[in-house]
Chain A
Amino acid sequence: MPQRTVNDFTIRVATVNGSGSQSSNLVLTNSIFRLGIPVAPKNVFPSNIEGLPTWFDVRVTSKGYRCRTRDVDVLVALNAATWQQDVAGVKPGGVVVHEATYPLTGETQREDLTYYAVPFNALAKEHFSDKGDLRKYLMNMIYVGALAHLLEIPAGVVEEGLRAQFRSKASAVELNMKAVTIGIEYAREHLEKRDKYYLERMSGKTDGYLFMEGNRAAALGCLMGGCTVAAWYPITPSSSLCEYFIQYADKYRVDKETGDRNVAIVQAEDELAAAGMVFGAGWAGARAMTSTSGPGISLMAEYVGYGYYAEVPGVIFDVQRAGPSTGLPTRTMQGDVAFAYTLSHGDTKHIVLLPATVREAYELAMDAFDLADRLQTPVLVLSDLDLGMNSWLTKALPYPKKPFDRGKVLGADDLASMKSWGRYRDVDKDGIPYRTLPGTKHSNAGFFTRGTGHDEEARYSEQPEVWQRGLDRLLRKLETARTTVPAPVVDEKGRNVAIIAYGTTHHAVVEARDKLHDAGIDVDYLRVRALPLSPEVATFVKRHERVYVVEQNRDGQLYGILRTELPPHLIGRLESIRHYNGVPIDAYVIVDPLLEAERAPAVVAE
């Protein structure tokens, strides 16, 4: 018997898209979580409704890592089309649980793996021939049972997982449990445990945690952040953000007696129209948002530039997917950072928020509405498919503590006590002017909002000095924003080497820093949470000899922004580490090049 590997391995379930494996995958995930073991599920799925291959990775991680890992230890093979490729991807010493009819010949017959053949199809046919379409779902549930037996998950725990998945639907729980039991029974009678992978109950690691996707958390942020107008155009991977918002709005924004709603949600004709509705609503005083992905922000560029120059609040969620162009709609990337920062023609710089966790997806969504109102400008919140669509372990989201910050809005009473006001005057010298809302009952309230050149009184102007003065004030506002937006998160202990990252790359950095520590290299870490960059970023770089900027795009987009915005003498300290194959970054993407670079002199010496 080889040494036991407990609570630290990855299970990959390979199935065909549309075969109904999602429920069984989530039940497996939930069952392991119920043993008190942290898990990080990642769904790698195709841009397809039915027929293409899909993989679901459940990373079991006693240390609580959240990022993807390259290693597949346990494969559940339920897709004949990818059978060969799937077996090839299993780590030496790993396990393959497979449909019994798949051939074990040539490349699929590896000496270094343990195989368990289960006649999933035949079992489903035997027990569920009367279940019609449900049969394929139940077949997937049989694998949960077989795996539960092999990994030693008690049947009662799986049943709890089923209850969590199917909520109060007792009949569904019963039927699915029957399928799980068939899997358990089959494994007990026919499979002799020959591998090293085990799950053992843990304590103190998952207390108070729940599973949530970033898109759901962002939708809750919109709900609690006071969003009243949402306009959207369906696009993967952002659709679920608005769909969750609709779901919560239907429940929490409707007067139970009258049916009156205090929210308006419009499915627009395209992303540009969605952006137009957002800025129209923002101008009229509502907190408005749209959610989209890369192709959508390309369309929105026109209105976002308008929002910037005319100074209209609006919140845009960009759940990034792999681009350019249509790219890989169901794969992840941090590829829109540079584009979003300067979205639209002319001199533009936008507020960009970069949530890394589910908690931040929620909190930065709320912050986005405050910042949009406070700074009177578009705010782009850039998450990604990994954060948006995967389920992450997170602590319960806290009830908001802050009231809304509606920014500098003058009401009729304010106007009555003022001799005059000008829409674009910089009264407070922070670059942020005062505004009034349409409907304000005062004869001085009105002004003309326009994307054409205008002076401090919002009058049309082509005067060179007026135009330049306006652009300079917008730059002043950007400087104010540097210290208004969420500050970077810094973990620093005086080391020479550091990492800068943002968004979901964070989770790979966490694991990478542990691995680097094990290899004898400790690194400091700064996580950027917003653009424009906080002044802290420059001082952080100044305190380090080498700073590795890690991100999930080909061109090193934040690296480029840093090179442009940091003092020239600091630029040479930056190194870029990039990952851009569409699947979430793992720790080795950071560890390998960093170790190589940091150990380079030693290697030469050898």
Chain B
Amino acid sequence: MTANVNIIGLTRDVYKGLPTTLCAGCGHNSITNHLIKALYEYGVEPHNLAKMSGIGCSSKTPAYFVEQAHGFNSLHGRMPSAATGAKLANRELMVLGISGDGDTASIGLGQYCHLIRRNVDCTYIVENNGCYGLTKGQFSATADVGSKQKSGKINEYATIDVCGLAIQLGATFVARSFSGDGKQLVPLLQAAFSHRGTAILDIISPCVTFNDHEGSTKSYQYVKDHDVVLHTADYISGGKEIAVDYEPGTVHDVQLDDGSHLLLRKLDTNHDPTDAIGALRTIHDASARGEFVTGLLYVDTHQQDLCARERLTKVPLARLDEKALRMHKSEWSKLMESF
């Protein structure tokens, strides 16, 4: 293998997309770059990748990576249902959903919840900037109480924490990160790809045009000052030996469904990502302090995903023909005689 290709022999360029049409400095563009790196390093097959999104700035980003792959830019807040249908139709697809905070926590909250409770095998990214960019800066439902709009208006309504909500709903993989922290984000993305079930990644992604001012809790400066990193993360793909030295008790080894590992090296906090109640408390306590925690908040690798629960046959449903789907003539006659 040369240095210029990944494990399936593709160059990094294959993972690139069209030039971005978002604002210069937008957090979403950084996420796109981290995604390209994660997908390239992971060795995702472009033809099997289904890039799904809703409507909004975030939902435009599937055009900016893996141009060869199929994309489905759906309706505002309705990506989860389309992702569910696509996964059921072809369980071999790697479904990658990209949404925003308005798309997820306002108009799409219902579908978000039900995607999680069905544990549809997909990666669901929330590019979270606390505001509506395309319509020029209105608050979204993830805006923090007390956060200031560019116009000076203060948000008085309770914030919806998409991670806390996901854990409450029984999500099996919940992480939070920051668009500017590629070191943490790339391994979390790769772990999300490896996880079998819904992997939620809430990525704080500042809006440079409408929400990057003093008084906003989603500005670059605020995020840098209040990001409490729970652990450093290292993704070790399946089959690779774990060659990291660590003192016993300092690293949490998350074993993922495809044989890969996510090694979480504990920092100041004593966060246990397998403890749902503990994760909720960690989120809550940080929020009360005006901070937010990043890292793998919660993971449960023992739950079946939707396709497994439905006992779907291994062959993608989309490929089944008459022979597989129609009963035999004799069975049909018997059925008709039973009336």
Query: Which residues of A are interface residues toward B (Cβ below 8 A)?
Result: 210-212, 223-224, 226, 228-229, 231, 252-253, 255, 259-266, 268-270, 272-286, 288, 302-303, 306, 396-397, 399-400, 403-404, 436-452, 460
Please determine whether A277 and B70 come into contact, CB atoms closer than 8 angstroms: no
Task: Kindly supply a per-residue 1/0 record for chain B positions 60-87, scoring 1 wherever the CB is within 8 Å of any chain A CB and 0 otherwise.
Answer: 0011000111111111001011111111
Please determine whether B85 and A228 come into contact, CB atoms closer than 8 angstroms: no
Given A281-B89, A284-B318, A439-B318; A302-B47 close (CB under 8 Å): no
Task: Kindly supply a per-residue 1/0 record for chain B positions 305-337, scoring 1 wherever the CB is within 8 Å of any chain A CB and 0 otherwise.
Answer: 001001111111111111011110101110011
Q: Is B88 in the interface zone, CB < 8 Å from A?
A: yes
- Determine the distance from Cα of A431 to Cα of B87 in the docked complex, in whole angstroms: 29
**Chain A residues near B333 (CB-CB < 8 A):** 399
Given A228-B317, A302-B78, A400-B326; A281-B86 close (CB under 8 Å): yes
Q: Is B93 in the interface zone, CB < 8 Å from A?
A: yes
- Determine the distance from Cα of A264 to Cα of B316 in the docked complex, in whole angstroms: 11
Task: Choose the segment among B25-33, B110-118, B150-158 that binds chain A (4+ C-beta atoms closer than 8 Å).
Answer: B110-118
Partner of B73, one of A266, A282, A449: A449
- Determine the distance from Cα of A442 to Cα of B69 in the docked complex, in whole angstroms: 10
What's the nearest-Cβ distance from chain A to residue B339, in Å?
A: 4
- Determine the distance from Cα of A451 to Cα of B68 in the docked complex, in whole angstroms: 19
3 cross-chain pairs, A with B, having the tightest CB-CB distances, nearest first: A276-B81, A280-B85, A285-B318
**Chain B residues near A442 (CB-CB < 8 A):** 47
Please determine whether B322 and A438 come into contact, CB atoms closer than 8 angstroms: no
Residue of B nearest to A400 (CB): B326
Give the size of the chain B interface in residues (CB under 8 angstroms).
60
**Chain B residues near A444 (CB-CB < 8 A):** 68
Please determine whether A446 and B89 come into contact, CB atoms closer than 8 angstroms: no
- Determine the distance from Cα of A488 to Cα of B69 in the docked complex, in whole angstroms: 43
Q: Is B6 in the interface zone, CB < 8 Å from A?
A: no
The residues in B between 77 and 126 inclusive whose CB is less than 8 angstroms from any CB of A are 78, 80-90, 92-93, 110-111, 113-114, 118
Task: Pick the most buried of A266, A273, A397, A439: most chain B CB atoms within 10 A of its CB.
Answer: A439
Please determine whether B88 and A273 come into contact, CB atoms closer than 8 angstroms: no
Q: Is the interface of B mostly helix, strand, loop or mixed?
A: helix
- Determine the distance from Cα of A337 to Cα of B271 in the docked complex, in whole angstroms: 58
What's the nearest-Cβ distance from chain B to residue A579, in Å?
A: 30
Given A284-B89, A439-B316, A446-B69; A451-B74 close (CB under 8 Å): yes
**Chain B residues near A449 (CB-CB < 8 A):** 70-73
Given A273-B110, A282-B85, A439-B90; A262-B47 close (CB under 8 Å): no
Partner of A440, one of B47, B62, B111: B47
Residue of B nearest to A261 (CB): B311
- Determine the distance from Cα of A277 to Cα of B48 in the docked complex, in whole angstroms: 19
Q: Is B46 in the interface zone, CB < 8 Å from A?
A: yes
Please determine whether A272 and B325 come into contact, CB atoms closer than 8 angstroms: no
Given A264-B310, A285-B90; A448-B71 close (CB under 8 Å): yes
**Chain B residues near A265 (CB-CB < 8 A):** 310
- Determine the distance from Cα of A226 to Cα of B62 in the docked complex, in whole angstroms: 31
- Determine the distance from Cα of A459 to Cα of B134 in the docked complex, in whole angstroms: 20
Please determine whether B82 and A280 come into contact, CB atoms closer than 8 angstroms: yes
Task: Pick the most buried of B50, B71, B72, B321: most chain A CB atoms within 10 A of its CB.
Answer: B72
- Determine the distance from Cα of A284 to Cα of B62 in the docked complex, in whole angstroms: 17
Residue of B nearest to A254 (CB): B311
Beyond A210-B336, A264-B307, 13 extra complex contacts between A and B, CB < 8 Å: A211-B339, A255-B313, A261-B310, A261-B312, A274-B81, A276-B81, A276-B85, A283-B72, A284-B316, A437-B318, A446-B68, A447-B70, A449-B71
**Chain B residues near A451 (CB-CB < 8 A):** 73-75
- Determine the distance from Cα of A441 to Cα of B319 in the docked complex, in whole angstroms: 14
Please determine whether A439 and B311 come into contact, CB atoms closer than 8 angstroms: no
What's the nearest-Cβ distance from chain B to residue A334, in Å?
A: 27
28 A-B residue pairs with CB within 8 Å: A226-B321, A226-B326, A228-B317, A229-B85, A229-B88, A260-B312, A260-B313, A261-B310, A262-B315, A262-B317, A262-B324, A264-B312, A268-B81, A269-B113, A276-B80, A277-B82, A277-B84, A279-B85, A280-B86, A285-B319, A286-B88, A438-B47, A438-B86, A438-B90, A439-B47, A440-B47, A443-B47, A449-B71
**Chain B residues near A223 (CB-CB < 8 A):** 326-327
What's the nearest-Cβ distance from chain A to residue B273, in Å?
A: 28
Please determine whether B322 and A259 come into contact, CB atoms closer than 8 angstroms: no
Task: Pick the most buried of B75, B85, B319: most chain A CB atoms within 10 A of its CB.
Answer: B85
Partner of A269, one of B86, B114, B311: B114
Please determine whether B339 and A212 come into contact, CB atoms closer than 8 angstroms: yes
Please determine whether A438 and B78 come into contact, CB atoms closer than 8 angstroms: no
The residues in B between 170 and 207 inclusive whose CB is less than 8 angstroms from any CB of A are none
**Chain B residues near A210 (CB-CB < 8 A):** 336, 339
Task: Pick the most buried of B81, B313, B314, B331: most chain A CB atoms within 10 A of its CB.
Answer: B81
Partner of B331, one of A252, A259, A285, A437: A252
**Chain B residues near A448 (CB-CB < 8 A):** 62-63, 70-71, 73
Task: Pick the most buried of B84, B312, B322: most chain A CB atoms within 10 A of its CB.
Answer: B84
Given A229-B85, A266-B118, A439-B318; A286-B47 close (CB under 8 Å): no
- Determine the distance from Cα of A400 to Cα of B329 in the docked complex, in whole angstroms: 9
**Chain A residues near B320 (CB-CB < 8 A):** 226, 228, 262
